[in-house]
Amino acid sequence: MEIIIEKGWKKELNQEFYDPYFINLIDYLKLEYISQEIYPPLNLVFDAFNKCPFNETKIVILGQDPYHEVNQAHGLCFSVPDGVAIPPSLRNIFKELQNDLGLPMPKSGNLVRWAEQGVLLLNATLTVRAKEAGSHQNKGWETFTDKVIETLSKQQNNLVFVLWGAYAQKKQVLIDAKKHLILTSVHPSPLSAHRGFFNNHHFSTINNYLVAHQKSAIEW
């Protein structure tokens, strides 16, 4: 299994790829991709990094697992390819965008346009078995993505880390709050969005922070 990842990320994370935990993870994934239906497709596993180069990252939005239904997962958390029905959590994200910034409801759930502006759409676990949520948790991915968060926190300045839901909020310990802005709320899932995701105004807060630190705002 070849690791195809943007050169800036490769430089920062290269030693991870030779660590025993990562070698074991890759060995596990090789068997999984042969014997099971795994999402996203192999060539898109690291697409969050390829669409958002290390040196251009301004924001990290953290998810947990890739979508586990057919044709949904394509390497970016919360995002789905063009032509795929918008999942409920993403629909609520768009509703908050509409509420916060007055933007119209998008017709597509493809968030590549965000990634290309410096939004790292990072799942804590980068792969999953079809129809088995959480099936690739605790196999090594979390060690890798924790390192991603730590590396960004140490190497960059004035990033925005967006942590929606209890799982994502546990990652605060990896982030230097003196250097970066950390935004938290409940998850945009229909089960919780009404308890504080709606009206959190995170999108306007992000853009105000970026502009205040001489960075370009995101065209959401």
Give catalytic residues, as residue numbers. Answer: 65
Residue 10 has phi, psi (to 5 degrees) of -60, -40
Place of tokens 């979390």: 142
Q: Which residues are bridge partners to 162 per DSSP?
A: 61, 183
Are 140 and 25 in contact by the 8 Å Cβ rule? The answer is yes
Which DSSP letter does residue 132 get?
A: B
Q: What angle do CA 182, 187, 190 make, to 5 degrees?
A: 155
Listed in sequence order, the DSSP H helices in 39-185 are: 47-51, 88-101, 112-115, 141-155, 166-169
CA distances 180 to 2, 157, 213, Å, are: 33, 6, 11
Q: How far apart are CA 135 and CA 128, in angstroms?
A: 6
